[in-house]
Chain A
Amino acid sequence: MVDRVVNREQLLREQMIYQYVVALDQGDLDGVELVLQTALDDPDLDRVIAEINYAVHEEERLSSSAADAQLVRELLRKHLSSAFVTEEPMSHLLTVGEVAARLQADRRVLPADREVNRQLLGSSVPLPRFLNWSAIKRLADELRVSASEKFWRSFRDVAIMLGMGYSHDQARLAAAREERASYRTRQTDVQQPSPSSEDGDRETLE
């Protein structure tokens, strides 16, 4: 028999995992939703839910395709380039606080580094353009905080991951702006003929 410490959080998670599987088996939408709401405050439960979904996906012999990732990218491109392209600044840079928030949300911070991460949550210091290891070390010096090497490695990983979303987004914004500018130009050309063409018309009429 093993020695085991069972905490309240663990018991609640065990109960939630059970409810999730039972709700899926019984076709109980409300039951699934309740567990998903709990998972908002429990990244470990969120991870187990994803694992269960994969297992049930396999069990049901549902198919997935390589086109799925493409579908998500297309959806984002489509919806961000219409309703969400506004005049927001292109120069918006990812900040230290945003990376710290993501680290906390994903529970990737060791207990010893939690205090440091809390301090960084409010930081609006932009991240360096290139996220190599020496740049991260310089950033740590600038921020004047002391954390473990593991923390800074996780920080770098998350920053790169978020940065990929940003660069994709900024490229899309630039493309959308270009498209919009060229559309406006075309519209202007159609509505207001250029002076030269007007002269030309006049000459023809005369």
Chain B
Amino acid sequence: MDIIIVEADEEDDLKRENSKPDVAVTEEELVRKRNLLVAAIQNDESDLLNGIRVYVSRFRLVSDIDSVSILARDILHETVVTALQSLARYDPMRPARPWLLSIAINHIRHRHRSQEYARQHVIRVADTPQAQKAAQESHEEALSEEEMFTLLHIASESSEPTFDELLSLVEGNDRQILDLYYRQGLDGKSLAASLGISEGTAWTRLCRAKARLRKAYLQSESEVEES
């Protein structure tokens, strides 16, 4: 079966148009924005704190788990202050949560830099996450992420052996979730229900399975080339 590519509808263009930053914002407009932002913060409070705790933990700002919550609260505090001070840039037409989490990410980045400076530890450029990522990308440039996803979609829709060959490169659990997603067409909630896990866990497992498949595929390709 062919994959049909459909262009995004005009609504997105309108949304982008409406989301241009304000040049001059009146006091009344600021009050309106502030009220909407306060409502959004109250509505998303647990999502915000969860997200910040995950970032603090994953970006290794602290070494012990008990300190994660304490630091996450500090960063939430800084995020709320920054958001309220940057009301002119808040666009009520767009979801507030990613905007607030981006502010939190900036505060985390700032703390990262301060920590690095405080440690006075010189890291080789080649050891920085950016350099490692770039090195990894240069090794993997033979197959971009986009190409990988397209390949999987096409393989799942065409001859069965091709997709099975691809899936044979990964372990049982990865194979199962990739099969459910690409061949059975399960997505998000339905994928989670089928595996008896939460939607977020389903997405996380699926993405990690894709990452492992991509790595295995590249490795198998390079082995074929060498032989």
Residue of B nearest to A51 (CB): B200
> Count the B residues whose beta carbon is within 8 Å of the partner chain — how many?
89
Beyond A27-B129, A61-B65, whether A73 also contacts B42 by CB under 8 A is: yes
Residues in chain B near residue A31, CB distance under 8 A: 133
Residue of A nearest to B199 (CB): A51
A32-B145 in contact (CB<8A): no
The yes or no answer to A183 lying at the interface (CB within 8 A) is no
Residue of A nearest to B47 (CB): A50
The yes or no answer to A179 lying at the interface (CB within 8 A) is no
The complex places the Cα of A54 from the Cα of B36 at a distance, in Å, of 25
Chain A, interface size category, equals 35 or more
B:1-55 near A, CB below 8 Å: 1, 3-8, 11-12, 14-16, 19, 27-28, 31-32, 34-36, 38-43, 45-51, 53-55
The yes or no answer to A92 lying at the interface (CB within 8 A) is yes
The complex places the Cα of A9 from the Cα of B43 at a distance, in Å, of 27
B:173-227 near A, CB below 8 Å: 183-185, 188, 198-201, 203-204, 207-208, 210-211
The complex places the Cα of A80 from the Cα of B38 at a distance, in Å, of 9
The complex places the Cα of A114 from the Cα of B48 at a distance, in Å, of 29
B19-A41 in contact (CB<8A): yes
A76-B41 in contact (CB<8A): yes
B50-A64 in contact (CB<8A): yes
The complex places the Cα of A53 from the Cα of B14 at a distance, in Å, of 30
A64-B53 in contact (CB<8A): yes
Contact partner of B84 (CB less than 8 A), chosen from A3, A8, A80, is A80
The complex places the Cα of A102 from the Cα of B122 at a distance, in Å, of 47
The yes or no answer to A166 lying at the interface (CB within 8 A) is yes
Choose among A19, A48, A72 the residue with the greatest number of B CB atoms under 10 Å from its CB.
A72
The yes or no answer to A190 lying at the interface (CB within 8 A) is no
A53-B47 in contact (CB<8A): yes
The yes or no answer to A145 lying at the interface (CB within 8 A) is no
B133-A51 in contact (CB<8A): no
The yes or no answer to A26 lying at the interface (CB within 8 A) is yes
Main secondary structure of the interface of B (DSSP, over half): helix
Residue of B nearest to A9 (CB): B8
B92-A105 in contact (CB<8A): yes
A25-B208 in contact (CB<8A): yes
B6-A7 in contact (CB<8A): yes
Contact partner of A50 (CB less than 8 A), chosen from B31, B51, B184, B210, is B51
B:133-161 near A, CB below 8 Å: 133, 145-146, 149-150, 153, 156-157
Map CB proximity to B onto A72-111 as digits: 1 under 8 Å, 0 otherwise: 1101100110011010110010100010011011100000
Residues in chain B near residue A62, CB distance under 8 A: 50, 53-54, 57, 65, 68-69
A79-B203 in contact (CB<8A): no
The complex places the Cα of A18 from the Cα of B41 at a distance, in Å, of 26
Choose among A40, A61, A162, A164 the residue with the greatest number of B CB atoms under 10 Å from its CB.
A40
What residues make up the interface of A, taking CB atoms closer than 8 Å to B? 1-9, 11, 14-15, 17-22, 24-33, 36-37, 39-41, 43, 46, 48-65, 68-69, 71-73, 75-76, 79-80, 83-84, 86, 88-89, 92, 94, 98, 101-102, 104-106, 114, 118, 161-162, 164-166, 168-169
Ranked 9 nearest A-B pairs via Cβ: A165-B39, A55-B200, A51-B200, A21-B207, A2-B185, A39-B98, A7-B6, A72-B45, A55-B201
24 contacts between A and B (CB under 8 A): A1-B157, A5-B3, A7-B7, A11-B150, A18-B211, A20-B207, A22-B207, A27-B58, A49-B101, A50-B47, A50-B50, A50-B97, A53-B200, A58-B198, A60-B57, A61-B65, A76-B38, A79-B81, A88-B31, A102-B36, A104-B15, A105-B92, A162-B36, A169-B35
Q: A49-B51, A53-B200, A71-B49 are in contact. List 20 more A-B contacts (CB 8 A).
A: A4-B3, A6-B3, A7-B4, A7-B5, A8-B8, A11-B153, A21-B203, A22-B211, A32-B55, A32-B105, A40-B99, A41-B16, A51-B200, A55-B204, A71-B73, A80-B84, A86-B27, A165-B35, A165-B42, A169-B38
